[in-house]
Structure 1
Amino acid sequence: MTTHHPTTRRLVYGHAQMQDCLAFADANTAAEEGGEIKALAAARTWGEARQVQMTHLWNPAGPDYYEPEDGYADDKPFKINEVSAVAEGDWPPMVTERAFKLLPKDVQAQFGKREFTVHNGDILEIPLAQEAELVAELRQRGYEVTRDDDLINVLDGRSFSPLVG
C-alpha cells in the first residue's frame, strides 16, 4: 500500500470566499505567490504585465501568450480581466484545489468532499464548521498551521476574479 506524503508540513489556510469553504496553501511559498498575483494585477500597461517575473506561477500575460505586434503594445493600458486565462478562471489556479496535494488523503476524506466545478476542475470543499477539528488533527500530526484569510483570497484572485458577481 502506498501512502500519500504531502509536500510540506507548513500550511496556511483560510476562508476562500468564492467557494465559501476552507482552503490550504503551502506556507513556504504562499506569500511569494500572492506577491506575484498582486504584481500582475497592479500592472498598468501590457509592457509592465509582460515583465512581471513569476517564480511559482506562470504569467498569463507573458510574451508566450500576448505579443506587442498582436495589438498588445507595451504602452497599451492593461486590465487583468482582459487576459483570457484570468477571464476563463484558469489563473490563478483555484486555491481550493491545493488541498488535494497538501493534505493527507485520509484527512481529505474525513473533512472535505470533492466537488466538480464548471470552471477548472475539482476542488476539495471543506466546510468552515470543520475548522477547529481539522486544524487540531493537522497539528497533532506535526503540521504547522496558520490562518490567513487575506492571503488565501489573494491566491484565489478574489480581488479581480470575473467569477465574483
Structure 2
Amino acid sequence: MTTHRSDTHRLVYGHAQMHDCLAFADAETAASEAAEITAIAAASTWGEARALRTEHAWNPVGPEYHDPEDGPADDAAFDINEVGSVQDGDWPPMVATRAFRLLPQDLRDRFGASSATVFNGDVIEIPLAREAELVAELRERGYEVTRDDELINVLDGRGFSPLVG
C-alpha cells in the first residue's frame, strides 16, 4: 500500500531537556508555533506582547487570557517570566504531553511511561535509549519522523523558562 501525503503523519521529535526524555510535536505546525512562542517571549513591552496574534500557540498575555486593565501599561517593559502562567509552568504547555495525542496508544505503552508532574498534569517520559526502536516502529507505520532537538526545546520554553536551572 502506498502512503499518500494526506495519509502521512509528520512528526518532529527531540530530546526535551526539562524532562530528559524524547518528546514529539506535529511537524505541520511546530515551526510556526515555535516562532510564535519566541516572538511573545522576545517582546520588549507589554503592549507589543499583547498585540501579538497567534495561530498555533496561545498568547498568555493576549486579550483572551489576560485583562490589560489588570496589568502593566502597554509601554511598560515586558519580561515573559513575570507572566503568571509562565511562572506556574503552564506556558508554553509542556512538550512531553503531546505524545498522548500524537503517538498510538500501543507505542506509548510500550516505549514510554506516564509520569505526573507536581502542578501541570501528566507527561509521557520516553527514554532516549528507546529512540532508534521507536522511530523505526513509527516509520514502519507510515510516519515521517524528523529529529530537531532545538525546535522541541523552543516549544517547551527552554530558552526563557524560570523552571530551567
Shorter-chain TM range is over 0.9
| Deviation string, structure 1 residues 39-72 (Cα, Å, up to 9, x no partner) | 0011000000001111112110112444444341
* Structure 2 match to 1:40: 40
CA distance in 2, matches of 1:68, 1:105: 41
Q: Does the 8 Å CA contact 2:11/2:145 hold for their aligned counterparts? A: yes
Amino acid in structure 2 at the alignment position of 1:140: E
Secondary structure at the counterpart of residue 60 of structure 1: coil
Q: Give the direction of change, closer, same or farther, for the CA distance of 1:85–1:153 in structure 2 (3 Å limit).
A: same
TM-score (norm 2): 0.92
Q: Percent identity?
A: 70
The Cα shift of 1:8 comes to 6.6
Divergent runs of 4+, >4 A:
none
* Structure 1 match to 2:3: none
* Structure 1 match to 2:29: 29
The Cα shift of 1:136 comes to 0.3
Amino acid in structure 2 at the alignment position of 1:124: I
| Structure 2 runs not aligned, ≥5 long | 1-6
68-77 vs 121-130, which deviates more?
A: 68-77
The answer to whether 1:87 aligns with 2:126 is no
| Deviation string, structure 1 residues 1-47 (Cα, Å, up to 9, x no partner) | xxxxxx97100000000000000000000000001100001100000
Q: Give the direction of change, closer, same or farther, for the CA distance of 1:156–1:8 in structure 2 (3 Å limit).
A: farther
Q: Give the direction of change, closer, same or farther, for the CA distance of 1:154–1:8 in structure 2 (3 Å limit).
A: farther
Amino acid in structure 1 at the alignment position of 2:24: F
CA distance in 2, matches of 1:65, 1:123: 24
CA distance in 2, matches of 1:8, 1:43: 36
* Structure 2 match to 1:3: none
CA distance in 1, matches of 2:8, 2:22: 18
The Cα shift of 1:80 comes to 0.2
CA distance in 1, matches of 2:76, 2:150: 30
* Structure 2 match to 1:160: 160
Aligned length: 159
Matches within 5 A, 1:63-82: 63-82=63-82
Q: Does the 8 Å CA contact 1:66/1:72 hold for their aligned counterparts? A: no
Q: Does the 8 Å CA contact 2:48/2:74 hold for their aligned counterparts? A: yes
CA distance in 1, matches of 2:84, 2:68: 16
CA distance in 2, matches of 1:148, 1:69: 39
Secondary structure at the counterpart of residue 146 of structure 1: strand
CA distance in 2, matches of 1:77, 1:149: 31
* Structure 2 match to 1:98: 98
Amino acid in structure 1 at the alignment position of 2:123: I
Secondary structure at the counterpart of residue 134 of structure 2: helix
| Deviation string, structure 1 residues 76-131 (Cα, Å, up to 9, x no partner) | 00000111011100010100000000000000000000000013100000000000
Q: Does the 8 Å CA contact 2:8/2:142 hold for their aligned counterparts? A: no
